[in-house]
Structure formats: C-alpha cells, structure tokens
Amino acid sequence: MGAWDSGRRARIGLIGCGFYAQNHLHAWQDLAGHGADLVAVCDQDEAKARAAGEKFGVKWYTDARSMLDDGPLDLVDITTRMDSHEALAALAAERRLAAVVQKPFAPTWDECVSIVRTAEKHGAWLAVHENFRFATSMQRVKQVLESGTIGPPSWARIAFRTGYDVYKGQPYFYNEERLVILDVGIHVLDLARVFLGEVDRVYCETQKRNPKVRAEDTATVTLRHASGAVSVVECTYEARRIPDAFPEVLLEIEGPVGSIVVKPGEKMIVTTQGLSFEEYIGSPLLSWTTRPWHVSQEAVRNTNAHMLDALRAGRPADTSGEDNLKTYALVEAAYESASKHAGVRPKVSD
C-alpha cells in the first residue's frame, strides 16, 4: 500500500456501537479536520445502530457484510467484543479494506495469529487499537526515556490498580474465563514492551479477590527483558484507596543516572544527575470527554489519529497486527505462568 494523495480523505465505517465504542465514534468525528470522515456505523442491535447513526449523522446498518459491500470505505474500525473479531476482520481483509481491531485482539493466541495471517494473505492493512501507549502522559514518558535523561532503563514498576466499578458498564466481566490480564493487563504489558523492550521471560501470580467474578481480578507479573532490564506489571480491579487514580497508569522507571515517577493526577517527577523536576503530563478535557474517563478517551483520539496518519502514509501502524502479537504473547505467557507457578518464555508467531 502506497502513500495517499495529500488531499484524500479517509472514509470510516465502524462496527459495534456499544459502551466503549462511543469514544471511538466521538474520536473519529473529532478528527474530521485531520482528514477523517465517519460515514457508516453497524451493530446487530438495531436500537444501538440507529442511535449511533442518528447521533453522528451517518448511515447505519445491522449487518456488517452489507455495510462493507455498500461502501465505499477506506478503513473499518471493529469495536465489537473480542469473540467476533476474527470473522469481522476476515470480512474486511477479503475486501482488502484496512481494519483497526479493538483490543483484546481475540480470545485466543491462535485466533490472533489467524487474523494477522488472513490480512497478510489479502494484502490488507491491519492494526490493533492498543490505546494506552498513545495516552498523552505515556507519550511524554516515552519522550523522556528516548532523550536519554535517565540512561537506559533497567527496572520499572508499571501499575493499573483501581476499585472503580468496571462491572457496571460491562456486566459480562463477571463471567469472563480470563479477566484482568486480558482486559487491562494487556495494556500495561504493552507499555512494558514500549518502555523497556522485548521480553525473554514472564513470571505471574494471579488472585481472585472478588467472589462474584469467575476469573482473576488481580495479577502481578515480573518480566525479564532482552536488555537485562526487569519490570513488575501490576493490575487489579480490587484496590481500595482514596483517591482512586482510575483510569491512570502509575509507574516508576529507573536508569543508571535517574528515574521517572508518574503519580496520581498525571504528575511526572524526573530525577537526573542529582536534580529533579515535576511536570504535569496530562491534557485538557475535549468537548466530548468527561472525568475520570478523559484519560482513556483522549488516548482513543490519539490512537485514531495515529492510525489515520499511518494508513495515509502507506506504512504499518506502531500497533500493527504483527506488533500486537508480541504483546498478546505476554498475556498468554502470564496465564501459563500463573497456572504452572513457573517462568515462561513468550510465544513467537510463525
């Protein structure tokens, strides 16, 4: 796929008009000045499809195949639950349509690999909507790391700990077979890859602290990176603290000449060469974002903008399907490690 003509706009179709998809819809609408045109939405639930279509002034469908065939579309944003991703991504790939798939990529490793290989077979552009790394705060942390201010990172703790009622908006969480690692841990594991590089070994312990849920709601993961760095990734929906930093990621990263600490309120403290400074690394509210979700909502907009830029430039997204397999491999390794109580090497795609 080559670069687009500078004046060409992207026609966007979105499949799945549920809870979190509303952020994608607002983000695409917000990116109209960036060259995005949201033109169609689809959901099997007619009421959701109609409501989204009317709210955003676009054509609505209850059948994804019909929406894709009616076109013309340049990019399909798949924001359904993960068990439908493989089939929907295949519909897009068969039509050589670019697709963005909401995380988690799919319920299993084999399905994730299948999605990637099907897109490759048809020459279709594919990316995963892994939005945490595109949050303004996390992008700023990455900038400081890349500047060499603290030297090569050798240790980190990256945490998403909350008691926010995530089950209210997504009650199906109670019955998931795999929960916190696959839902939010995958985001934090992705950040560990971004900040400290690829991973050689994973050790994980899980807990089920809420008796109402079927699967794990807490995970503590230790990663040994190829660089020799070590990171600890923490995620839980059962933290009890005031204030609750939801949905912020808190972290500590140490290098030979300094450190980076991100505290609640999106405050970053950088220490280097014996000196330190504090900086606010968040961003102002957008017209459609609300606290506390604004941190995640703004990250969706940033992610969509990145996807649009990559597609128009004819290059893979940073979170291409192939890249996300490396993050998903850490999820698989964490679950395997927890079951074996032993260190596990991440899978490598064929």
Q: What is the mean pLDDT of residues 257-265?
A: 97
DSSP secondary structure string for all residues of 242-301? SS--TT--EEEEEETTEEEEEETTTEEEEEETTEEEEEE---PPPTT--TTTHHHHHHHH
pLDDT-based confidence at residue 350 (cuts at 50, 70, 90): confident
**Number of residues that this document lists for the chain:** 350
Percent of the chain with pLDDT over 90: 95
The reported pLDDT for the residue numbered 1 is 66
Cα 202 to Cα 345: distance, rounded to the nearest angstrom: 6
Instruction: Find out whether 255 and 166 touch, Cβ atoms under 8 Å.
Output: no
Average pLDDT over every residue of 310-329: 98
DSSP string, 171-195: GGGGG-SS-HIIIIIHHHHHHHHHH
Find the mean pLDDT for residues 290-301.
Answer: 95
Give the N- to C-terminal CA distance of the chain in Å, as an integer.
23
271-278: average pLDDT: 95
Q: Cα–Cα distance between 19 and 41 in angstroms, integer?
A: 14
Measure the CA–CA gap between 102 and 36, rounded to whole angstroms.
18
Confidence of residue 326 (pLDDT cuts 50, 70, 90): very high
Q: Which residue has the tokens 């850490």?
A: 330
Nearest Cα residue to 81 out of 142, 21, 133, 132: 21
pLDDT mean over 266-278: 96
Average pLDDT over residues 262-282: 96
Q: How far apart are CA 83 and CA 105, in angstroms?
A: 9
For residue 186, pLDDT beyond 70: yes
**Which residue is associated with the tokens 């890249």?**
323
pLDDT over 90 (residue 50): yes
pLDDT at 92: 98
pLDDT tier for residue 38 given thresholds of 50, 70 and 90: very high
Residue 6 has pLDDT above 90, yes or no: no
- Residue 6: strand, helix, or coil: coil
pTM for the structure as a whole: 0.96
Kindly state the helix (H) or strand (E) to which residue 203 belongs, with its residue range.
strand 199-207
In the predicted model, is pLDDT for residue 283 greater than 70? yes
Bridge partners (DSSP) of residue 14 are 41, 77
Average pLDDT over every residue of 88-100: 98
What's the confidence (pLDDT) of residue 169? 85
> pLDDT per residue over 101-127, tens digit each?
999 999 999 999 999 999 999 999 999
Structure tokens at 48: 């959701």
Is the pLDDT confidence value at 312 over 70? Answer: yes
Find the DSSP H helices in the chain. Answer: 21-30, 46-56, 64-70, 85-94, 109-122, 136-147, 166-169, 180, 186-196, 294-313, 321-340
> H or E stretch including 223?
strand 218-225
Mean of pLDDT over the chain: 97
Residue 317 has pLDDT above 80, yes or no: yes
The answer to whether residue 239 scores a pLDDT higher than 80 is yes
At 139 the three-state DSSP class reads: helix
- Given a contact cutoff of 8 angstroms between Cβ atoms, the answer to whether 215 and 208 are in contact is yes
Q: Is the pLDDT of residue 222 over 80?
A: yes
